[in-house]
Amino acid sequence: MKKLDRYIFFRILVLTVFMLAVLICIFILIDFSENSDDFADKGATFAQIWNQYYFNYIPEMVRLVTPLAVFTACLFLTGQMTERLEITAIKASGISLYRLVVPYLLIGIFLAGMISYLDAYIIPEANSERIDFEQEFLSSGNERIDRGGIFRQDSDSTVIEINFFDPNTNTAYRVFLTEFNGNEIERITQGSRMMWVDSTSHWVIDRPTTRIMRDKEVEVITSERKVFDINILPRDLARRTSDIYQLTYPKAFQYIQSIERIGAGGISLPKVQLYGRITYPLSIIVVCLIGFALAADKRKGGKGFYIAAGLGISFIYLVLMKVIEPFGAAGTLSPMFAAVFPHAFFLIIGILLLLFTRK
**Structural domains of the chain ordered from first start:** 2-140+270-356 (no CATH), 150-238 (2.30.30)
pLDDT category, 142, cuts 50, 70, 90? Answer: low
pLDDT category, 6, cuts 50, 70, 90? Answer: very high
**Mean of the per-residue pLDDT values for the chain?**
89
Most confident of 127-141, 169-183, 225-239: 169-183
The H or E element spanning position 188 is strand 184-197
**Average pLDDT for residues 142-168, to the nearest whole number?**
80
> What integer pLDDT is reported at residue 329 of this predicted model?
87
> What integer pLDDT is reported at residue 201 of this predicted model?
87
Rounded to whole angstroms, what are the CA distances from 349 to 9, 74, 317? 23, 16, 11
Beta bridge partners of 219: 212
Q: Considering just the CA atoms, what is the radius of gyration of the chain in Å?
A: 27
Does residue 260 carry a pLDDT above 90? no
Percent of the chain with pLDDT over 90: 50
Q: Identity (one letter) of the amino acid at 253?
A: F
Does residue 357 carry a pLDDT above 60? yes
Does residue 140 carry a pLDDT above 70? no
> What integer pLDDT is reported at residue 1 of this predicted model?
62
Angle between helices 282-295 and 335-356 (to 10 degrees): 20
Most confident of 89-93, 247-251, 314-318: 247-251
Three-state SS sequence of 73-106: HHHHHHHHHHHCCHHHHHHHCCCCHHHHCHHHHH
Percent of the chain with pLDDT over 70: 96
More confident residue, 300 or 35: 35
> What integer pLDDT is reported at residue 342 of this predicted model?
95
Q: Which of 13-17, 73-77, 238-242, 299-303 has the lowest mean pLDDT?
A: 299-303
**Average pLDDT for residues 87-116, to the nearest whole number?**
92
Summarised one tens digit per residue, pLDDT across range 156-192 is 788 899 998 888 889 999 999 998 888 888 899 999 9
> What integer pLDDT is reported at residue 120 of this predicted model?
95
* Helix and strand totals (H; E) in the chain: 13, 8
> What integer pLDDT is reported at residue 113 of this predicted model?
97
Alpha-carbon gap, residue 77 to 89, rounded angstroms: 16
The answer to whether 284 and 112 have CB atoms below 8 angstroms apart is yes
